[in-house]
């Protein structure tokens, strides 16, 4: 039978089991151990029993010197110390003594009551190295035991690192947790740092795809060999539960392990770029970082990145010049802002070009008291807008501005 047919067959079984949360607890002495236990142990999984049932568990310990791509795991400590000493704020900024968990899950589907989390991996830096624990659900009847064993409910609340976990992994976990709320301790809302969102902020328009495997190859210096395709993972797990042969599941464990190790490397790399590295990336990435800091109202940090980019002239620095001009205008450096807007506008494309000419027009009109030049800038804005779909209010603003400036010019002309 094909994986696809097995998946459909097993999903039917899972949906029937979705009401497992309402069943009474089975006393330990009457509880059935998972089928095919010895076979699962052969791929490094240890069977653990708790008050709610059984769960398989695998523990991996890495030395601090473990290399993943271009990054050693122990660089995490250096980065946390650097963030603690940084004189500015950022969502990635943490204290070196805070508890951090790098977290990733594998599921039987994307949504719905028949979609289970069957594998949860957690990596934490310990005194003697890094420890990864992977928890695997033996079958749906042990879901409560599986969720409990992760320890995410415990009192020392960690900070959770993930890749798209804020939108997917954690909501899925919370949803499954709710289905067992009578049996499980309350799951507190934890601080989430989603590296997917940080990656988009840094490399927007620089990378064709934001998949973690793409980031690994293009930014982390790591290429996977023989990795299991993500779309096969649900079928592999469901087949292992039904057949008892988990050999292919070993590849899923490795896939999850590599995902989590990449989170550490990605956080280290991103942090370096956000704090000190102004040499290894593209002007586009540094412009994006400058914009990110501006959005966070960390204007000194923003200016440092944008000024680095604007040291280069031409199209590659146009957006940075525009963003820096906005900051200069905000701080009252009108002449510098005007110069930057005029340098940026000819190399910009799209609505931002129109905005740049309009900013220049406003500065000439209100700060420089020069309606002649203001009219020229507004004319450039109108010309640029004619080739674009700009919002109606912007087109109206340009026309009103041009009419007002024409009146000002007539008023300033000497009478004959």
Q: Mean pLDDT throughout 41-60?
A: 96
Asked if 83 and 98 touch (Cβ cutoff 8 Å), the reply is no
Asked if 278 and 265 touch (Cβ cutoff 8 Å), the reply is no
Asked if 315 and 321 touch (Cβ cutoff 8 Å), the reply is no
Domain boundaries, the chain: 3-275, 283-410
> How high is the pLDDT of residue 26?
61
> How high is the pLDDT of residue 178?
94
Structure tokens at 237: 């797990």
CA distance 273 to 247: 40
Identical topology for domains 3-275 and 283-410: no
> How high is the pLDDT of residue 3?
44
pLDDT grade, residue 208 (50/70/90)? confident
Distance (Å) of CA 67 to CA 228, 256, 268, 280, 348: 22, 17, 12, 19, 41
Laid out side by side, the sheet with 159-162 consists of 46-50, 53-62, 130-136, 117-125, 100-107, 159-162, 192-194
Select the more confidently predicted residue: 313 or 388: 388
Q: Mean pLDDT throughout 114-128?
A: 93
The fold of the 283-410 domain, in CATH, is 1.25.40
- Scanning the structure block, which residue is given the tokens 């995410």? 152
pLDDT, tens digit, for every residue of 327-338?
Answer: 999 999 999 999
pLDDT, tens digit, for every residue of 136-164?
Answer: 999 999 999 999 999 999 867 899 999 99
pLDDT, tens digit, for every residue of 364-404?
Answer: 999 999 999 999 999 999 999 988 888 888 888 899 999 99
Homologous superfamily of 3-275 in CATH? Ribonuclease H-like superfamily/Ribonuclease H (3.30.420.10)
Asked if 287 and 203 touch (Cβ cutoff 8 Å), the reply is no
DSSP H helices in 244-350: 247-275, 283-295, 299-310, 318-330, 334-344
Please say if the pLDDT value at position 181 is more than 90: yes
């Amino acid at each position: 039978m094909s994986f696809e047919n097995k998946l459909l067959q097993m999903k039917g079984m899972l949906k029937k089991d979705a009401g497992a949360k309402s069943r009474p607890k089975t006393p330990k002495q009457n509880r059935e151990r998972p089928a095919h236990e010895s076979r699962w142990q052969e791929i490094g999984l240890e069977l653990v029993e708790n008050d709610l049932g059984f769960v398989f568990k695998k523990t991996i310990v890495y030395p601090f010197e473990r290399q993943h791509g271009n990054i050693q795991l122990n660089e995490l400590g250096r980065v946390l110390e650097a963030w603690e000493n940084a004189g500015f704020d950022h969502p990635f900024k943490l204290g070196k003594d805070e508890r951090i968990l790098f977290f990733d899950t594998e599921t039987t589907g994307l949504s719905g009551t028949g979609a289970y989390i069957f594998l949860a991996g957690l990596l934490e830096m310990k005194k003697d190295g890094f420890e990864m624990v992977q928890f695997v659900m033996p079958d749906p009847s042990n879901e409560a035991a599986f969720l409990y064993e992760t320890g995410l409910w415990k009192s020392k609340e960690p900070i959770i690192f993930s890749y798209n976990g804020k939108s997917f992994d954690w909501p899925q976990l919370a949803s499954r947790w709710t289905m067992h709320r009578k049996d499980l301790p309350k799951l507190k809302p934890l601080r989430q740092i989603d590296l997917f969102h940080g990656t988009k902020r840094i490399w927007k328009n620089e990378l064709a795809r934001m998949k973690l495997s793409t980031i690994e190859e293009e930014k982390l210096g790591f290429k996977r060999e023989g990795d299991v395709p993500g779309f096969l993972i649900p079928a592999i797990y469901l087949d292992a539960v039904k057949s008892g042969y988990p050999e292919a599941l070993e590849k899923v464990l490795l896939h999850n392990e590599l995902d989590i190790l990449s989170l550490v490397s990605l956080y280290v790399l991103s942090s370096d770029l956000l704090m000190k590295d102004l040499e290894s990336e593209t002007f586009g990435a540094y412009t994006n970082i400058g914009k990110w800091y501006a959005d966070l109202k960390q204007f000194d940090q923003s200016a440092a990145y944008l000024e680095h980019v604007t040291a280069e002239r031409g199209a590659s620095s146009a957006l940075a010049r525009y963003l820096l001009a906005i900051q200069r205008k905000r701080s009252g450096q009108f002449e510098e802002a005007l110069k930057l807007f005029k340098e940026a506008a000819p190399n910009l494309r799209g609505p931002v070009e129109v905005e740049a000419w309009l900013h220049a027009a406003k500065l000439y009109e209100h700060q420089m008291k020069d309606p002649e030049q203001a009219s020229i800038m507004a004319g450039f804005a109108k010309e640029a807008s004619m080739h674009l779909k700009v919002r109606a209010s912007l087109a109206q603003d340009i026309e009103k501005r041009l009419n007002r400036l024409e009146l000002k010019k007539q008023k300033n002309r000497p009478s004959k």
